[in-house]
């Protein structure tokens, strides 16, 4: 209700200010200005696209599975640049699936518009004029354009992979505008049951936001929302105050970012200890079998993983599941890290030293992926440069 009240208040304020503008400038004048803003967005978009080399650029990425079958689900796109127009065709993508991750075509279009907009210049306005330059098609009956009554409630996961797929193709067109793959979209961990005996029902839906991929001149960010979302991680103090759950761990997974001249962001780790007598746990995660890709020589990010912790250690769980758990059970989720950008042997020794000091990578990671040589606990710069130049 709070969300709905906030949206209603926003609509009321928007209506008030729009009427105020109409009263000041007149409806006819405003309409001409609005039309010109859209035309302006289209003109700048076409100018940007005209600077791209004509051609067809293809990319394929994967969703691990739909939760019913273990089969990988391909998302395939072909971007055609022709003059000032771009067409994006998703032919070759998976047929619609049994799980609720089918995406409506409208959502696929939204994810594609967002991706193409990321590759445009910063001064292109974010308005519908941009859309006029982009044609989007997906086969009917596919996971990206399903026939009714296909289940679509968890379509966000597929939208995230559409973004990854389109950005992978755009990297061939505008490499300095596109980052390597991020964590693959937020993980959803849902826990429901009764608190205080059987008197108070609860439902926790925890959406974990993780890592961006490396960029052409910056490392990937961490602990932030996916570029196709708008949300943030729930503070564990809030979570523990509201639900019969104790967070045993919350932090970064070391060595999870893909190596590169610019490193991918680290994946997040969360551990939930159940304090209720019984809960139904449902997890929708991905990138357990298909790691976030790196670009231009950058390494893939680490895969995601789910575990049930016990005195005997960690027992692996599927990336998508529903099961009943009891008091004392501990669920551990390790989110995927972002892919790296560029040759890992070109990463500066200063950057590697900072990562080591901050606990983001281990000595073994530095030795294996960046070919550095240690003298005791410190990097031997001369020997490291010799080893890295020798490749």
Dump pLDDT digits (tens) for 17-38.
999 999 999 999 999 999 999 9
The better pLDDT of the pair 181, 121 is held by 181
Which range (111-125, 196-210, 269-283) has the least confidence? Answer: 196-210
User: Is the pLDDT confidence value at 271 over 80?
Assistant: yes
User: Is the pLDDT confidence value at 161 over 70?
Assistant: yes
- The mean pLDDT of 169-191, rounded to a whole number, is 96
User: Is the pLDDT confidence value at 256 over 80?
Assistant: yes
- The mean pLDDT of 254-283, rounded to a whole number, is 96
* Alpha-carbon 150 to chain mean position: 24
Please, which pLDDT band fits residue 313 given cuts at 50, 70 and 90?
confident
User: Is the pLDDT confidence value at 390 over 90?
Assistant: no
Q: What is the pLDDT of residue 111?
A: 96
- The mean pLDDT of 55-79, rounded to a whole number, is 96
Strands 278-284 and 268-274 turn out to be unpaired
Q: What is the pLDDT of residue 240?
A: 96
Place of tokens 């906030």: 6
Q: What is the pLDDT of residue 311?
A: 83
Q: CA angle, corner 254, sides to 248 and 260, nearest 5?
A: 150
Q: What is the pLDDT of residue 263?
A: 98
- Contact between 159 and 318 under an 8 Å Cβ cutoff? The reply is no
- Contact between 264 and 220 under an 8 Å Cβ cutoff? The reply is yes
How far, in Å, CA of 70 to CA of 133, rounded? 38
- The mean pLDDT of 213-231, rounded to a whole number, is 93
- The mean pLDDT of 62-75, rounded to a whole number, is 95
Maximum CA extent, the chain: 75
Q: What is the pLDDT of residue 229?
A: 87
Structure tokens at 339: 């892919």
Q: CA angle, corner 221, sides to 218 and 225, nearest 5?
A: 140
Q: What is the pLDDT of residue 273?
A: 97
Return all residues near 354 (Cβ < 8 A) that are at least 6 apart. none
Percent of the chain with pLDDT over 90: 94
Q: What is the pLDDT of residue 298?
A: 97
Q: What is the pLDDT of residues 330-389, one digit of tens each?
A: 999 999 999 999 999 999 999 999 999 999 999 999 999 999 999 999 999 999 999 998
Strand-pairing partners, residue 331, are 272, 308
Compute the mean pLDDT over every residue in the chain, rounded to the nearest whole number.
Answer: 95
Q: What is the pLDDT of residue 108?
A: 98
User: Is the pLDDT confidence value at 8 over 80?
Assistant: yes
Q: What is the pLDDT of residue 310?
A: 84
Return all residues near 147 (Cβ < 8 A) that are at least 6 apart. 96, 140, 141
- The mean pLDDT of 145-164, rounded to a whole number, is 96
Q: What is the pLDDT of residue 391?
A: 65
Give the DSSP H/E element, type plus range, for residue 268: strand 268-274
């Amino acid at each position: 209700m709070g969300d709905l009240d906030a949206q209603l208040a926003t609509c009321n304020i928007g209506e008030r200010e729009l009427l105020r503008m109409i009263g000041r400038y007149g409806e006819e004048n405003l309409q001409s200005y609005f039309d010109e803003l859209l035309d302006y967005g289209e003109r700048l978009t076409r100018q940007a696209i005209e600077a791209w080399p004509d051609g067809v650029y293809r990319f394929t990425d994967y969703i691990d599975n739909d939760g019913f079958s273990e089969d990988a689900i391909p998302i395939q796109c072909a971007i055609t640049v022709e003059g000032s127009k771009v067409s994006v065709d998703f032919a070759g993508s998976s047929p619609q699936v049994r799980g609720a991750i089918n995406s409506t075509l409208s959502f696929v279009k939204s994810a594609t518009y967002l991706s193409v907009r990321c590759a445009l210049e910063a001064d292109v306005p974010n308005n519908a004029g941009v859309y006029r330059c982009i044609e989007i098609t997906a086969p009917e009956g596919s996971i990206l354009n399903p026939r009714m009554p296909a289940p679509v409630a968890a379509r966000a996961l597929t939208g995230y992979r559409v973004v990854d797929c389109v950005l992978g193709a755009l990297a061939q067109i505008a490499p300095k505008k596109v980052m390597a793959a991020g964590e693959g979209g937020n993980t959803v961990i849902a826990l429901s049951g009764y608190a205080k005996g059987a008197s108070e029902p609860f439902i926790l839906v925890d959406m974990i936001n993780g890592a961006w991929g490396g960029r052409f001149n910056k490392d990937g960010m961490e602990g932030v929302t996916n570029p196709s979302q708008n949300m943030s991680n729930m503070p564990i103090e809030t979570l523990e105050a509201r639900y019969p759950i104790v967070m045993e761990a919350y932090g970064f997974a070391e060595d999870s970012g893909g190596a590169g001249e610019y490193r991918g962001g680290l994946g997040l780790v969360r551990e939930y200890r159940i304090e209720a007598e019984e809960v139904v746990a449902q997890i929708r995660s991905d990138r357990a079998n298909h790691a976030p890709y790196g670009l231009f020589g950058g390494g893939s990010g680490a895969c995601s993983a789910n575990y049930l912790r016990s005195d005997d250690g960690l027992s692996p769980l599927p990336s998508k599941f529903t099961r009943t758990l009891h008091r004392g059970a501990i669920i551990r989720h390790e989110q995927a890290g972002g892919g790296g950008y560029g040759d890992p042997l070109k990463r500066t020794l200063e950057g590697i030293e900072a990562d080591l000091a901050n606990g983001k990578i281990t000595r073994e990671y530095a030795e294996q992926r960046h070919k550095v040589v240690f003298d005791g606990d410190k990097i031997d710069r001369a020997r490291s440069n010799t080893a890295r130049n020798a490749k």
